[in-house]
Structures are given as structure tokens and as C-alpha cells.
């Protein structure tokens, strides 16, 4: 999905496991610079081996991480989504880990994450 956020256009798509080397530094930046906004700690997260980081990256309809990429392929922002399990909870999901790199803030990059997540959720409706 392509999004127009102010003066920049971004490609909004799922982060792949093979992109852990691009995703993880941005996630660590988020944890380091805004510890109050996240449940995970920078100190513990930076010690994770690459194999575990890759294992945490899912690309399923109910569990994924979206990335906003610039036209030059730079990862400007990230956002995770996970749907609840069970027949009485499947209508619920939660968004986690939203972060936009400071260089790309103020141009409307964050809002399309929510729109993209809702669109993906509707497309994978199975409850």
C-alpha cells in the first residue's frame, strides 16, 4: 500500500524476517529514546540474538509488523499488530510498538499505520 504523508510518499508493507537488520535498529532506537512509551526495555532488548529477533517477526494476517518505507527504501516507521485468539476475543486486536524516526515526524507518517492496520484486519476477517 502506498501512502502520501505530506511531502513524502511511503510504501506501507509488512516487515519480512530477512529485514531484521533494518527493523531491529529502529526498534532499539525507539526503546532507547522513548522508554516511557514501551513495555519492553532497551537494556534487555539489545542483548537479544539476531535469531530471536527473526523469530519474533511474523507475517501472518493476525500477527505482523508494518513498516513505512521511503521511496529510497529507508525504513521511516514501524507498527505491530496482533489479533486476540478465541471465539469471544477474535474481534479484538491490539496495535503495539508504533514509532516514527524523528527525521520523518510531523508529516503524517503515523496515521497511515492505523489505516493500513485496519485495512489488513478487514481483509483477513475470520471471526
- 55-81, pLDDT tens digit by residue? 999 988 889 999 989 899 999 999 999
According to the model, what pLDDT value does residue 7 have? 54
Structure pTM?
Answer: 0.81
% the chain with pLDDT above 70 = 78
The C-alpha cell 521511503 sits at: 70
Residues contacting residue 55 through CB under 8 Å, at least 6 positions apart = none
Angle at 45 between CA 41 and CA 50, to 5 degrees: 165
Of 10, 25, 9, 106, the C-alpha closest to 66 is 10
pLDDT tens track for 88-100: 877 788 889 999 9
- Write the CA distances from 103 to 43, 58, 93, 109, integer angstroms: 24, 27, 29, 11
- Asked whether 85 and 94 are in contact (CB, 8 A), the reply is no
Amino acid at each position: 500500500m502506498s501512502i502520501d504523508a505530506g511531502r513524502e510518499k511511503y510504501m506501507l508493507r509488512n516487515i519480512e524476517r530477512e529485514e531484521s537488520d533494518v527493523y531491529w535498529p529502529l526498534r532499539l532506537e525507539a526503546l532507547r529514546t522513548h522508554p516511557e512509551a514501551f513495555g519492553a526495555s532497551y537494556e534487555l532488548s539489545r542483548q537479544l540474538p539476531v535469531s530471536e529477533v527473526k523469530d519474533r517477526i511474523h507475517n501472518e494476517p493476525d500477527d505482523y509488523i508494518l513498516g513505512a518505507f521511503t521511496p529510497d527504501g529507508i525504513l521511516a516507521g514501524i507498527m505491530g499488530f496482533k489479533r486476540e485468539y478465541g471465539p469471544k476475543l477474535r474481534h479484538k486486536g491490539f496495535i503495539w510498538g508504533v514509532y516514527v524516526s524523528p527525521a520523518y515526524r510531523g508529516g503524517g507518517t503515523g496515521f497511515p499505520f492505523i489505516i493500513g492496520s485496519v485495512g489488513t484486519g478487514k481483509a483477513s476477517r475470520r471471526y
